Structure 1
Amino acid sequence: MELILRGVAIGALIATAAGLWRAGKGHSARLAGVLFSVSVLAYTLQSSAESRLAIGSLEPIVHFLALGGSGLFWLFIVALFDDREISATTLAPYAGLTLLGLFGWLGPRNLQPGVWIIHNLIEVAFAAHALFVIVRSWRGDLVEARRRLRGPFLGAVTLFVVVLAGFEIGEAFGVEADWYELLGACALAIFCTAGAAVFLQAQPALFGAARPAETPSARLDAGDQHILDRLEEVMIQGAAWRREGLTIGALAEEIGVPEHRLRRLINDQLGHRNFVAFVNVYRIGAAKQRLADPADARTPVSAIAFDLGFASLGPFNRAFKEATGQTPSEWRKIQLGQGSPIPENPG
Structure 2
Amino acid sequence: MTTFNASIATVEKGFRPWRPRGRLQVHATIAAASFVCYIFGRLLEGGAATAFSLIGVGACGWAWLVARALFDPAPRDARWARVVGLVLALSGALSVLAPAGGMVGRVADSLYTLSGSAALLLTFVEPFHRYTPDLPLGEKRFRFAFVTVYAGLVAVSVLGLRAVGDGPGEALRDDLVKSACALTGLVAVLVAVRFRLGHPLAARTARRAPTEDDARLAERLRRLLVEEAVDSRPELKIGDVAARLGEPEHRVSQCISTALGFANFNRWINHHRIVRAKGMLAAPDERRSILEIAFACGFASLGPFNRAFRDEVGTTPRDYRATMRAGATAAG
Distance 1:313 1:117, change over 3 A: same
Question: d(CA) in 1 for partners of 2:151 and 2:81?
Answer: 22
1:148 and 2:140 correspond: yes
Deviation, 1:263, is 3.9
1:198 and 2:195 correspond: yes
Q: Which residue does the alignment assign to 2:124?
A: 131
Aligned-partner residue type, residue 124 of structure 2:
L
Deviation, 1:130, is 4.7
Q: Which has the higher contact order (CA 8 A, sep 6+)?
A: 1
Aligned-partner residue type, residue 279 of structure 1:
N
Distance 1:235 1:250, change over 3 A: same
More displaced 10-residue stretch of structure 1: 64-73 or 121-130: 64-73
Distance 1:291 1:79, change over 3 A: farther
Aligned-partner residue type, residue 266 of structure 2:
V
Question: d(CA) in 1 for partners of 2:36 and 2:278?
Answer: 53
Q: Which residue does the alignment assign to 1:43?
A: 34
For residues 295-337 of structure 1, give each alpha carbon's deviation from its aligned partner in whole angstroms, at most 9, with x where no partner exists: 6996469x949964468958984x777x5696x65x8547746
* Structure 2 counterparts to residues 162-311 of structure 1, below 5 A: 162-163=154-155, 166=158, 176=171, 177=173, 178-203=175-200, 205=202, 208=205, 211=207, 217-218=209-210, 220-221=211-212, 223-235=213-225, 237-244=227-234, 246-270=236-260, 277-284=264-271, 286-287=273-274, 290=277, 293=281, 299=290, 304=294, 308-309=298-299
- From 75, 88, 95, the equivalent of 2:79 is 88
SS of the residue aligned with 1:144?
Answer: coil
Q: Which residue does the alignment assign to 1:341?
A: none
Aligned residues: 293
Question: d(CA) in 2 for partners of 1:312 and 1:85?
Answer: 33
- From 159, 179, 202, the equivalent of 2:151 is 159
Q: Which residue does the alignment assign to 2:330?
A: none
Deviation, 1:64, is 7.8
Deviation, 1:149, is 5.5
Deviation, 1:230, is 0.5
Distance 1:259 1:99, change over 3 A: same
**For structure 1, which runs of at least 5 residues remain unmatched after alignment?**
1-13, 22-30, 339-347
Percent pairwise identity: 14
Q: What RMSD, in angstroms, separates the aligned Cα atoms of the two structures? A: 5.2
Aligned-partner residue type, residue 37 of structure 1:
A
**For structure 2, which runs of at least 5 residues remain unmatched after alignment?**
1-16, 325-332
CA contact (8 A) 2:27 2:62 kept: yes
Aligned-partner residue type, residue 220 of structure 2:
R
Aligned-partner residue type, residue 32 of structure 2:
L
Question: d(CA) in 2 for partners of 1:261 and 1:40?
Answer: 38
**Bigger Rg over Cα:** 2
Question: d(CA) in 2 for partners of 1:86 and 1:306?
Answer: 39
Aligned-partner residue type, residue 209 of structure 2:
S
Deviation, 1:217, is 1.1
CA contact (8 A) 1:17 1:34 kept: yes
Scaled by the length of structure 1, the TM-score of the pair is 0.59
Deviation, 1:166, is 1.6
Distance 1:257 1:289, change over 3 A: closer
CA contact (8 A) 1:40 1:69 kept: yes
Deviation, 1:195, is 0.2
SS of the residue aligned with 1:46?
Answer: helix
For residues 168-193 of structure 1, give each alpha carbon's deviation from its aligned partner in whole angstroms, at most 9, with x where no partner exists: 99699976225225422441244124
For residues 20-51 of structure 1, give each alpha carbon's deviation from its aligned partner in whole angstroms, at most 9, with x where no partner exists: x2xxxxxxxxx3x3454244223212212279
More displaced 10-residue stretch of structure 1: 111-120 or 255-264: 111-120
CA contact (8 A) 1:97 1:119 kept: yes
More displaced 10-residue stretch of structure 1: 247-256 or 91-100: 91-100
For residues 283-302 of structure 1, give each alpha carbon's deviation from its aligned partner in whole angstroms, at most 9, with x where no partner exists: 1563477489376996469x
